[in-house]
Amino acid sequence: MVTIRDVAQHAGVSPATVSRVVNGLVGYSDETRERVEAAVQKLSYETDYLARGLKTRQTSVIGLLAPMVSDALASKVMQGVEEEAQERGYAVMLGRTGAKSAFIAGYLRTLRTYRAAGVILISAVITQETRQLLGPNIPIISVAISDKSGSPSVAIDDEQAAYDATRHLLRLGHRRIGLLAGDPASVFVAKPRERGYLRAMSEAKCTPVTASGSFFYESGAAGLDGLLAQDAGLTAIFAVSDEMGAAVVNELQRRGRRVPEDVSVLGFDNTSTSLHVHPPLSTMAQPLEEMGRMAVSKLLRSRALGPKIMPHHLIERGSTAPPPISSPQT
């Protein structure tokens, strides 16, 4: 059977270019498109994914589902997934399902019908229901979340990353550090990050101050109110998402507080949102694009999938600094 690599070799281009042409994407010249189309026609390359799946029992389609995640985080994962998939000659079917279980189930049934090569979930745990809907022959992996059960995943160590973030603020000299945590129901992301913060504060013998948010921008102002109601003299705030961190920066400035001269703010994820505030947000970075690429690679390389822990690292920008000299640190 003619493969995408055969077409690429005949046209003198990469498999990724062939994938972009046959899927109607951009990123090539008219002359390149004509060469690829001529090669497709001459070699009788089959671009009907469902028809190909009936022959091979697997199509060149990868499902990418984003059940409940911010656009800024999801877009970076998607970029890595799409780039790696296209380089390997696969198309990506994207489903933004929100939290609606019926939408998730519908996409999974469709991907099963299409005999997808695999499914990637962004920031969502793989459940027994998910596996049942997909059937036994389609591998699945999650990105940016790990349930610590050994399920297939590509994620960072959220607890250690939050610990390291808090330790950074402590090393700057802060002792009155508030945590704007995520949704309490998020037991595999929000809770580990809260544990990391609490561990660092306990080791430093500092009093923790916490409030919950939703990970999204809209919860930032309310979360800030919750923190300042407990300690109006906080000199640093660690928000467990860049969106909440950006909201805190903007809300502090609206109230006449300077960042970082009066209050330092540290975010999490290193999404584009961290650059869309002034000063730019210091953040604990996840390698989101690389995680997307790794998920595709693991799906296609082996069905014996396991967890993969990726490295995190701190990015210092203008939103963090030592505390004000006049501020009492207790």
Compute the distance between CA of residue 106 and CA of residue 65 in angstroms, rounded to an integer.
11
Q: Rounded to the nearest 5 degrees, what angle is found at the Cα of 41, between the Cα atoms of 37 and 47? A: 80
CA-based Rg of the chain, rounded to a whole angstrom?
23
Compute the distance between CA of residue 290 and CA of residue 63 in angstroms, rounded to an integer.
18
- In terms of phi and psi (left: phi > 0; alpha: psi -120 to 50; beta: otherwise), the region of 221 is alpha
pLDDT at res. 305: 76
> Which residue ranges does the chain devote to CATH 1.10.260.40?
1-47
DSSP result, 269-309: E--GGGGSSSSPPEEEE--HHHHHHHHHHHHHH-SS--EEE
Q: Where are the beta strands (DSSP E) in 56-196?
A: 61-65, 91-95, 118-122, 140-143, 153-155, 177-181
Provide the CATH number for the domain formed by 158-285 in this structure. Answer: 3.40.50.2300
Answer whether 287's CB lies under 8 Å from 269's CB: no
Provide the CATH number for the domain formed by 1-47 in this structure. Answer: 1.10.260.40
Task: Tell me the CB-side half-sphere exposure of residue 327, using CA atoms within 13 A.
Answer: 19
> Which residue ranges does the chain devote to CATH 3.40.50.2300?
158-285
Q: Which residue has the tokens 């209050």?
A: 263
β-pair type (236-239, 118-122): unpaired
Angstrom distances, CA of residue 249 to CA of 185, 238, 239, 326: 25, 11, 10, 21
The secondary structure element, H or E, covering residue 188 is none
β-pair type (140-143, 282-285): unpaired
Compute the distance between CA of residue 247 and CA of residue 222 in angstroms, rounded to an integer.
10
pLDDT at res. 99: 64
Three-state secondary-structure class, residue 36: helix
Q: CB count, 10 Å around CB of 127?
A: 14
The secondary structure element, H or E, covering residue 18 is helix 15-22
Answer whether 144's CB lies under 8 Å from 155's CB: yes
pLDDT at res. 314: 98
The pLDDT averaged over each successive group of 10 residues in the chain (330 residues) is: 81 83 71 87 65 53 84 90 89 78 80 87 88 88 86 94 98 98 90 97 98 92 96 97 97 97 97 96 97 93 79 98 76
Compute the distance between CA of residue 291 and CA of residue 155 in angstroms, rounded to an integer.
7
β-pair type (282-285, 264-269): parallel
pLDDT at res. 125: 85
The secondary structure element, H or E, covering residue 280 is none
β-pair type (282-285, 177-181): unpaired
Q: Which two tokens stand for residue 65?
A: 């589902």
- With b for 16 or more beta-carbon neighbours within 10 A and e for fewer, the 168-199 pattern comes to bbbebbbbbbbbbbbbeebebbbbbbbebbbb
Give residue 142's identity as a one-letter amino acid code: S
β-pair type (313-315, 282-285): antiparallel
pLDDT at res. 103: 76
Give residue 329's identity as a one-letter amino acid code: Q
